[in-house]
Amino acid sequence: MEKSLAKAKPINTNKKMTNPLNIHFFKAVHSCLTIVCFILLFHICAPSNAQDQKTQEKQLTTKFEEFSSKVGSMLKFEDYPLSPLKIKLGGSVETRIRKLSSGGVTMHFYQIQKRAQYSTSSASIEYSDLLEILRSLATLKQASGADQSRNPYYLENKFITTDGFQVGYFVSDGKLSWYIKLEQYGSDNTLFISDPEFLASSFNEAKAKIDDLTKNNR
């Protein structure tokens, strides 16, 4: 009996017993902390994302849209028709000068409008952008011959205004094609032009009309 008691292993009183309830408790606390951190991060990031979205939407607003959507003041507009712009396949599209007046400020826009069966695409080009287009068109015309003579697989050269209007050309299979794109987004808003001189004539007519309206305070 004494021998058996001598061989008995001593009980380790320093060994801690694991309580299953404690494990579940710590897991629950960890989950709650994770959810709280996620909610805090969401509220911190959400205003920033909303601000970025507002900034992007503001950048997408054109000069015409920004001026014509003013609230709290009278808005008056008047149209002056111009010669139609000739496009490929013997067609043409409407052009005009639209004068906008609001709060003692007047702006003139050169408008090109393409009417389709189910939609209408249009460009409203502010006067300073019109001047940039005329300068860029002259540069594009000078470069087009050399680009075509290189006979590239595909080449595109264009100018884009801050409002998204595009004018340019592309070369494919040795053929040179001129085009304008009325709006930055959407479909069926590209017009193909057989001769860049049609563009130069139309843009110069628009400039001359705006100059005349400004000179005579009309």
pLDDT at 136 (0 to 100): 98
pLDDT at 22 (0 to 100): 56
pLDDT at 117 (0 to 100): 77
pLDDT at 46 (0 to 100): 44
SS3 112: strand
- Answer yes or no: is 81 within a domain: yes
For the record, the structure tokens of 32 come out as 């709650």
pLDDT at 60 (0 to 100): 55
- Answer yes or no: is 172 within a domain: yes
Q: What is the pLDDT of residues 117-153, one digit of tens each?
A: 778 899 999 999 999 999 999 999 999 999 999 999 9
Domain at 117, CATH number: 3.30.2450
Report H helices in the chain. Answer: 2-7, 20-60, 63-68, 127-149, 196-215
- Answer yes or no: is 58 within a domain: no
- Answer yes or no: is 30 within a domain: no
Per-residue pLDDT in tens (0 to 9) along the chain, 218 residues: 444 444 445 545 454 445 555 555 555 555 656 665 455 554 554 444 444 444 444 455 889 888 888 777 889 999 999 999 999 988 899 999 999 999 889 999 999 999 887 788 999 999 999 999 999 999 999 999 999 999 999 999 999 999 999 999 999 999 999 999 998 887 789 999 999 999 999 999 999 999 999 998 76
pLDDT at 52 (0 to 100): 45
Share of the chain above pLDDT 70, in %: 72
pLDDT at 25 (0 to 100): 54
Beta carbons within 8 Å of 8's beta carbon, 6+ residues apart: none
- Answer yes or no: is 94 within a domain: yes
- Answer yes or no: is 187 within a domain: yes
Identify the burial level of 155 via C-beta atoms within 10 angstroms of its C-beta, where 0-12 means exposed, 13-18 middle and 19 or more buried.
middle
Number of structural domains (the chain) is 1
Chain centroid to CA 134: 23
Pairing of strands 75-81, 120-126: unpaired
- Answer yes or no: is 89 within a domain: yes
What is the domain extent for residue 115? Answer: 66-215
